[in-house]
Amino acid sequence: MTAQLLRIPSDDYHARDGFSSSLAKLLIERSPAHAKAEYRKPATKEMDRGSVVHRLVLGAGKDFEVLHFDSFRTNAAKDARDKARAAGKVPILEEAFAEANVIAESVRVQLLERGITLDGESEIAIEWHEDSAHGPVLCRCMLDHLWLGDGRILDLKITGNAAPNAVERNAESMGYAIQEAAYRRALVALEPGLAGRVDFLFAFAEAEQPYAMNIARGDGMFREIGERRWLRAVETWARCMAEDNWPAYGAGVNPLSPPPWALAKEEYV
């Protein structure tokens, strides 16, 4: 695998070609057709706030513009919001910006309390190639914070619930194991001497009082599942590229069965 470090703005990064963990998640959960279409949900208020908190904490990432309105209900506010997005910025209202500052300060303090100082590089991208049966696959990822010399990665997640059981569910539904696998492989492709030494931490930070934080490290099973899913997605992507065939849900009639939990419920009625 060949790799290179990219110190480029986030907009330039997202404009580049390359397979990513978000596409891999979409390919596995939906279909190759959905991954090729790069289906994305429109930005929400929570997503915008998370982007701003990332910028405030990490000192890098997507730029934002504070809009001096109470809400986006008026035409003037909507127009300002649309202009900000057209300029590549995240629009955020004054009240929401004040809240984002509180969250960001809480994140910084709690990281320091755990001995984590953000003295590496933030929003740093890696571009690398994965081998496949159909040839090399160009891949890319952008790491929230990287200590390159130490082989450490920190990924910041702003969430509504950072409790361990909630994080476990969200990690599965959001494909965080795939993300970790891709980022680990990217870093090792860049620095082969880090093989077996990469340390990946998720920092789950709640967006409401008491702004609790949960620092989590995936165990061996978590990493194994992520690795398998990532490599399977890479192979599928490579095959679809080679054949120029991007299937969705099949051209025939698919079976429809009740899920296991429904069968279990029926047994106890």
Dist. CA 57–CA 220, nearest whole Å: 29
Contact between 177 and 228 under an 8 Å Cβ cutoff? The reply is no
pTM strictly above 0.85: yes
pLDDT of amino acid 42: 65
Contact between 133 and 235 under an 8 Å Cβ cutoff? The reply is yes
Mean pLDDT of 207-227: 97
E strands, 75-151, in order: 90-93, 121-130, 137-147
pLDDT, tens digit (0-9, with 9 covering 90-100), for 52-66: 999 999 998 889 999
Residue 19 pairs in a beta bridge with: 139
Dist. CA 103–CA 178, nearest whole Å: 27
Mean pLDDT of 38-62: 82
- Cα 34 off chain centre by: 17
Instruction: Tell me the two tokens of residue 21.
Output: 């963990």
Q: Please report where in the chains the tokens 């909507």 appear, as a residue.
A: 78
CA angle 171, 50, 230 (to 5 degrees): 35
Of 31-40, 57-66, 142-151, 169-178, which range is least confident? 31-40
Higher pLDDT: 9 or 35? It is 35
Give yes or no for residue 204 having a pLDDT over 60.
Answer: yes
pLDDT above 70 covers what percent of the chain? Answer: 97
Residue type, 34: H
Mean pLDDT of 137-147: 97
- The mean pLDDT of the chain is 93
Q: Candidates 3.30.1490.20, 3.40.50.720, 3.90.320.10, 3.40.109.10; correct CATH number of 3-244?
A: 3.90.320.10
Give yes or no for residue 169 having a pLDDT over 90.
Answer: yes
pLDDT of amino acid 39: 63
